[in-house]
Amino acid sequence: GQNIDQPTEMTATEGAIVQINCTYQTSGFNGLFWYQQHAGEAPTFLSYNVLDGLEEKGRFSSFLSRSKGYSYLLLKELQMKDSASYLCAVRDSNYQLIWGAGTKLIIKP
């Protein structure tokens, strides 16, 4: 079967760095996406990885290792507005997105 695993919840301090991990087992791989979702709102796109390595975009970076079926999202200089759920999704061989349940990130002052 297809499976995406992420921690359910993480807590971090304002100004710090946090790494959210995602492991996956899917039928085929055509890219991995990270989305941010504030409570009751739509997911918004953060990053896309299809090749191994690190993609940096401002305070956010995303890493992919296809051989290990592993990705992480790194958030630096955390701000209170970063409190949200972070969703990992893998595009499979049918070009459909398989979604993880999301990681709820709580930022404390």
Partner 1 sequence: DGGITQSPKYLFRKEGQNVTLSCEQNLNHDAMYWYRQDPGQGLRLIYYSQIVNDFQKGDIAEGYSVSREKKESFPLTVTSAQKNPTAFYLCASRSLAGDGSEQFFGPGTRLTVL
Q: Judged by CB under 8 A, which stretch of 14-22, 26-34, 61-69, 74-82 contacts partner 1?
A: 26-34
Cβ atoms 75, 83 nearer than 8 A = no
Identify the H or E element spanning 94: none
Among 84, 102, 103, 105, contact with partner 1 (rule: CB under 8 A): 102
Cβ atoms 39, 48 nearer than 8 A = no
Can you read off the two tokens belonging to residue 97?
């997105």
Residue span 46-85 as binding mask against partner 1, x where in contact by CB under 8 A, dash where not: --x-x-----------------------------------
Can you read off the two tokens belonging to residue 84?
């949200």
> Which residues are near partner 1 by CB under 8 A?
4, 8, 30-31, 33, 40-45, 48, 50, 87, 89, 96-102
